[in-house]
Amino acid sequence: MKQRVNPYLPSWEYIPDGEPYVFGDRVYVYGSHDRFNGYVFCLNDYVCWSAPVNDLSDWRYEGVIYRKTDDPLNRDSRMCLYAPDVTVGPDGRYYLYYVLDKVSVVSVAVSDTPAGKYEFYGYVHYPDGTRLGEREGDQPQFDPGVLTEGERTYLYTGFCGRGDKTRKGAMVTVLGPDMLTVIEEPVIVAPSEPYSAGTGFEGHEFFEASSIRKRGDTYYFIYSSVAMHELCYATSKDPKKGFEYGGVIVSNCDLHIDSYKPADKPMYPPGNNHGSIVEINGDWYIFYHRHTNGTWFSRQGCLERIKFNDDGSIPQVEVTSCGSIEEPLVGRGEYPTYLACNLIYMDEKKRGFPKITQDGKDGDEEVGYVADVSDSATVGFKYFDCRGVRRVKIETRGYLRGHFEVKTSWDGEVLGTIPVEFSNIWTEYAADVAIPDGIQAIYFTFRGHGDGHFGSFTLE
């Protein structure tokens, strides 16, 4: 049975920095493109995926929409395509904004259709032709986020490391109807860390990942804070000023969440974050990314359903395997372990986390699994609608000798154990384990010797 899961794309696809948009009856996701086992960020060309608005389990690969060598500054492919954004211009065409990784100018490509192919269009520039980011006094351009209203396009950019006084915060620049020419010069809309005192942004200052959305008469500026793992938001009635800090929408390691663990306990390998909110078929979602393969360079897109309070604020949501506790996965059948939303070691003396990885090379359609499974490794999945589950099977391989505890919370009662042995191939083990009926999380904790892989589990 096909269901919406996290990550929402196939386990062998690595699309971070997701910017989701609904065009017609489909939702399109634009992002940068990491490489499995990559050595730096964003090594691959831009691709696009889309899904029907009424079925977020049915994602379609739209192909390569723009190559890194399509930019005249990068014919030799020495630079990477960093996080992009897309907006519809006053002429009805689709404009792709991006920054290459070693220059400080904003490039633009254009297409007649949402999924491209996009063609290079030009560079954002001042009326005298000087490119934005290259005039004396300009702050560096990075991670463009765009919103077009009428003949004006609001371009949000910036990158501000903690302690860097040369960068004052996220900027917005207004472009004219040609989508390239600056008609209002950059102004700061969210402060960097050195300039945040008294602003309300303290502790969650702007770092990178500008994104902008509008809901009703309110503009939501979504960004990654100096904490990096969290996507925060600020709101204003004016796209150019008056933004007030709102809170954290999601953390890719679930920091601040205290509903099922201590608020300061990370439950997944933390790392940078980038994404945005979108309304799809009447519901709102936050798109974000997680880290895999034990590095920061193989990131995957995830989504969670969000809600707005009456005052427009957004409560922080848990990271899940399903995208919403209100839409749990079927509590029956086999599930691959790359759907894990929690990866920790119970032994606090151990450093690091278990990791999600895959076999093969980048582009190989290999199903992901959990590696670095050793004593106290705990792998968690949320949530399942369990009814009459009485037996649990798992698949493991590698040098594992011991047993897996099965629980419905990371530190909860052990409902049963599944013994495992050394095996060079994926091998199935099973035990009678009664899972209480209802909406449940499922956790597996390995106790024993060795180090190996955890491939799948089956609820029966």
Only one residue has tokens 């996965």, namely 329
Peptide bond into 186 cis (omega under 30): no
Note the pLDDT tens digit of each residue in 258-289.
Answer: 999 999 999 999 999 999 999 999 999 999 99
Strand 145-149 and strand 119-123: the pairing is unpaired
Rounded Cα gap, residues 348 and 265, in angstroms: 11
Say if residues 319 and 271 touch (Cβ distance below 8 Å). no
Note the pLDDT tens digit of each residue in 196-249.
Answer: 999 999 999 999 999 999 999 999 999 999 999 999 999 999 999 999 999 999
Going from the C-alpha of 1 to that of each of 169, 330, 332, the distances in angstroms are: 46, 9, 10
What percent of the chain is modeled with pLDDT above 90? Answer: 99
- Looking at the predicted structure, is the pLDDT value of residue 1 above 90? no
> Which two structure tokens, joined as six digits, stand for 412?
């909860």
Give the 3-state secondary structure percentages of the chain, helix then strand then coil, rounded to 5: 5, 45, 50
Q: Which pLDDT does position 191 carry in this prediction?
A: 98
- Residue 337: strand, helix, or coil: helix
Q: Which pLDDT does position 122 carry in this prediction?
A: 98
**Whether pTM exceeds 0.95:** yes
Provide the β-strand partners of residue 286: 277, 304
> Which two structure tokens, joined as six digits, stand for 184?
């209002």
Note the pLDDT tens digit of each residue in 429-442.
Answer: 999 999 999 999 99
DSSP state at residue 367: P
Note the pLDDT tens digit of each residue in 324-381.
Answer: 999 999 999 999 999 999 999 999 999 999 999 999 999 999 999 999 999 999 999 9
- Residue 172: strand, helix, or coil: strand
Task: Write the Ramachandran bin of 264: left for phi over 0, alpha for psi from -120 to 50, otherwise beta.
Answer: alpha
Strand 423-432 and strand 355-357: the pairing is unpaired
> Which two structure tokens, joined as six digits, stand for 295?
């590095």
Q: Which pLDDT does position 257 carry in this prediction?
A: 98
Tell me the torsion sign for CA atoms 314, 282, 339, 220: negative
> Which two structure tokens, joined as six digits, stand for 42?
């964003």
Mean pLDDT for the chain?
98
Peptide bond into 382 cis (omega under 30): no
Note the pLDDT tens digit of each residue in 88-127.
Answer: 999 999 999 999 999 999 999 999 999 999 999 999 999 9
Say if residues 118 and 108 touch (Cβ distance below 8 Å). no
Rounded Cα gap, residues 327 and 340, in angstroms: 16
What percent of the chain is modeled with pLDDT above 70? Answer: 100
Q: Set out the domains of the chain in order of their start, with CATH numbers.
A: 19-306 (2.115.10.20), 333-459 (2.60.120.260)
In 274-390, DSSP assigns E strands to 276-280, 283-291, 299-306, 329-331, 333-336, 342-345, 355-357, 369-373, 377-386
Rounded Cα gap, residues 187 and 170, in angstroms: 8
Say if residues 265 and 221 touch (Cβ distance below 8 Å). no
Catalytic residue ranges: 17, 208
Closest CA to 278 of 218, 232, 228, 212: 212
Q: Which pLDDT does position 33 carry in this prediction?
A: 98
Phi, psi for 154 (deg, rounded to 5): -95, 120
